[in-house]
Structure 1
Amino acid sequence: MLTDYNLSDLINMAPPGAVMPFGVAVTMVAGGFMVGAIITPDMSRFNRNIKDVFWMTFLSLFLGELIVNTLGVLMAHAVKSPDVVSIMLTLGGWLSASLVIFATIKINDMNLYGASLGTSNFLDTAFGMKMSRSTITLVIGILGTLGSVLGILDRFVGFLTLLGVALPPVGGIIIVDYFILKRSRKVLDISRAQNKLPDTVENINPIAIVSWICAFLVGYFIQWGIPAFNSLFTAAVLYWVGNLIFASTAEK
């Protein structure tokens, strides 16, 4: 599709529009990647082993994302448009545009699955509400469609920036909890060996919630450095210190 364009010129072409600060750009990209990282367990739960999870993640991120995003940037430069459908119609006609549309349907199917699963778990854990998963899926799908019709994509950059500071703290808390503090590690290892879920889990972790809120505020309001990394690091440190303080207080 780029045979009529000089690849070197496209690569060296200055990006159109206002220059975006490096920290904001990294936070936007991190927002998309962090969403994938957080919902990866939902997608990999049916994989046979750890090796399958690794290759699924490696191929999709480093080959799929890197190559697709690079081609997307080059095509956007060629057409001088940020609209994906317009780009594909100009360079490849209706066939290319149709492929993009069907690929988007598949991606949104995965997004809907993760959102429905998370919402169902949240309602059950926080409020004891056991709603039908099909109902939750239908409601979220309708809300997402309405948002698209009302032009939510016009706020997509701001939404990615918000995700870039809201989701990294979740990853920081999970990493500290599992790899450093090793809370419930033994229970998880036993249940994994038995190929079943743990019999009991904690409903609410106050330290995790407070750490997430504080980290989100730090990432959102402090623009020094890279906000995504600021929020992740803040959440990890606060959660680690908070658990150490709680443990020492409980021993007394």
Structure 2
Amino acid sequence: MLTDYNLSDLINMAPPGAVMPFGVAVTMVAGGFMVGAIITPDMSRFNRNIKDVFWMTFLSLFLGELIVNTLGVLMAHAVGSPDVVSIMLTLGGWLSASLVIFATIKINDMNLYGASLGTSNFLDTAFGIKMSRSTITLVIGVLGTLGSVLGILDRFVGFLTLLGVALPPVGGVIIVDYFILKRFRKELDISRAQNKLPDYVENINPIALVSWICAFLVGYFIQWGIPAVNSLFTAAILYWVGNVIFASAAKK
């Protein structure tokens, strides 16, 4: 597709559009990685062993994120457009454009799976509502399609930026909870050995919820540094401090 273009010129050329602030760009990229790390268990839950999970993640990261994204940037520079379908039509014709469409269907299938699974678990855990997963999947699919028709992709950059500060705090809470505080570690180890979910889970964790809200606000409103990293560490620190204070108060 790029045989008619000079590779060196494409790499060194200035962006055809408005220059994006460095912090925003890093938040979009780093936030995307963090989002992937958080939802990876949804995709790898049926893998046979840790080795399969490692290779799935490793190959997806280097082939999908680095190589494919680099080619996408070069192609966007060559055409001077951010629209994926226009890029593929210009460089490869309808065959290339159809590949993008079918690839999007597969990606959205995975997104729909993760969203429906998370929504189902949230309704069950937080409110005790057991709703059919097929119904949840249908509703989310309709809402996603409606959003696409209404032009939600016009705000795609803003959406990625929002995800980049909203989801990393979840990872910060999970890391501190499992690896540092080790809450419910024994129950999780026992249930994992029995290949089932724990018999008891918290309906709601107020400290985690407050930590997430505060971290999101920090990442969204404070533009110093990298917002995604700021929100991640803010959530981790607040969650650790909150649990230490709560544990100390409970002993008195």
TM-score (norm 1): 0.98
**Counterpart secondary structure, 2:41:** helix
TM-superposed deviation, 1:206: 0.4
What's the CA shift string for 1:175-213, capped at 9, x where partnerless? 001111111111111111111111111111000000000
TM-superposed deviation, 1:125: 1.3
Cα distance in 1 for residues equivalent to 2:112 and 2:31: 17
> Counterpart in 1 of 2:232?
232
> Counterpart in 2 of 1:185?
185
TM-superposed deviation, 1:29: 1.4
TM-superposed deviation, 1:17: 1.9
Question: What does 1:1-252 correspond to in 2, within 5 Å?
Answer: 1-252=1-252
Cα distance in 1 for residues equivalent to 2:151 and 2:32: 19
Cα distance in 1 for residues equivalent to 2:182 and 2:58: 25
TM-superposed deviation, 1:32: 2.1
**Counterpart secondary structure, 2:20:** coil
After alignment, is 60-69 or 136-145 more displaced? 60-69
Cα distance in 2 for residues equivalent to 1:223 and 1:90: 37
- Say if 1:5 and 1:78, in contact at 8 Å, map to a contact too: yes
Cα distance in 2 for residues equivalent to 1:120 and 1:3: 48
TM-superposed deviation, 1:24: 0.7
Cα distance in 1 for residues equivalent to 2:62 and 2:183: 31
What's the CA shift string for 1:133-160, capped at 9, x where partnerless? 1000000000000000000000001001
What's the CA shift string for 1:192-241, capped at 9, x where partnerless? 11111111111110000000000001111111111111000000000001
What runs of 5+ residues in structure 1 fail to find an aligned partner?
none
Cα distance in 1 for residues equivalent to 2:147 and 2:248: 47
TM-superposed deviation, 1:27: 0.7
Cα distance in 2 for residues equivalent to 1:189 and 1:49: 16
- Say if 1:173 and 1:239, in contact at 8 Å, map to a contact too: yes
TM-superposed deviation, 1:68: 0.5
TM-superposed deviation, 1:34: 2.2
**Counterpart secondary structure, 1:4:** coil
How many percent identity over aligned positions? 95
**Counterpart secondary structure, 1:17:** coil
Aligned residues: 252
Cα distance in 2 for residues equivalent to 1:2 and 1:70: 13
Cα distance in 1 for residues equivalent to 2:179 and 2:122: 24
What runs of 5+ residues in structure 2 fail to find an aligned partner?
none
What's the CA shift string for 1:104-147, capped at 9, x where partnerless? 00000000000000111111111111111100000000000000
Cα distance in 2 for residues equivalent to 1:229 and 1:222: 11
- Say if 1:211 and 1:239, in contact at 8 Å, map to a contact too: yes
Cα distance in 1 for residues equivalent to 2:126 and 2:199: 18
Cα RMSD after superposing both structures: 0.8
TM-superposed deviation, 1:35: 2.1
Cα distance in 1 for residues equivalent to 2:12 and 2:226: 25
TM-score (norm 2): 0.98
What's the CA shift string for 1:63-83, capped at 9, x where partnerless? 221101000000000111111
**Counterpart secondary structure, 1:19:** coil
Cα distance in 2 for residues equivalent to 1:150 and 1:134: 24
Cα distance in 2 for residues equivalent to 1:91 and 1:201: 52
Cα distance in 1 for residues equivalent to 2:18 and 2:74: 18
TM-superposed deviation, 1:30: 2.2
Cα distance in 1 for residues equivalent to 2:195 and 2:29: 35
**Counterpart secondary structure, 2:111:** helix
- Say if 1:31 and 1:162, in contact at 8 Å, map to a contact too: no
Cα distance in 2 for residues equivalent to 1:229 and 1:177: 18
Cα distance in 2 for residues equivalent to 1:63 and 1:247: 45
